[in-house]
Amino acid sequence: MKGEGALRVAQGRRHLSQYRNAEIKGLLADLLGLEEIGRLGMRAQEVARGLKAGLTALRVRQSELSIEEDRVREELGRLHGAEQGVAAAMQECQTARTACDVAQLAQARLQADQSQSVAADEQRAAGGPAATCCGDAATLRARVAGEKHAKASTSRCMTASRAIPRASH
């Protein structure tokens, strides 16, 4: 009797071999839920396209940033060189100022000696004791030569100290 119930259920239906290919595919799609899988596949394709577009945009931005990084590194290299140049110029300026100060002190001493020499010459002309103030003629000539040298050195120093600040700007 069991066989009869199975026959009654199958009586109103076609046999599987009578279905065409398209009908079999449709039945399988329904059974396996392929429509949902197809929708998920289409959604995955859309996500993949979006990710590719985003990746392309990120690569373009990375390229731009790489170019900018190279430019900034080049500028930093130039700035580092400029810092060293400024430091060297400032050191030269300080050296020139020191030399200038030394020359000005020497000039001041020589001017004081010259004033004493002039005073001694005036005393000599008036008949006073000139030898006590300035000493002999050789010493006087050495002082005058030293004064000329100090004036020249001061002039060079002043020229150098005026030129250095302009070079550092």
Task: Dump pLDDT digits (tens) for 96-154.
Answer: 999 989 989 988 898 888 888 888 888 888 875 544 444 566 666 766 777 776 677 66
pLDDT band of 158, cuts 50, 70, 90: low
**pTM (2 d.p.):** 0.37
Buried b (16+ CB within 10 A) or exposed e, 49-65: eeeeeeeeeeeeeeeee
Say yes or no to pLDDT of 169 above 60: no
Residue 157 in tokens: 């120093």
Domain count across the chain = 1
Closest CA to 103 of 148, 166, 163: 148
Name the residue range of residue 107's domain: 2-168
Task: Dump pLDDT digits (tens) for 2-21.
Answer: 455 444 445 678 887 888 99
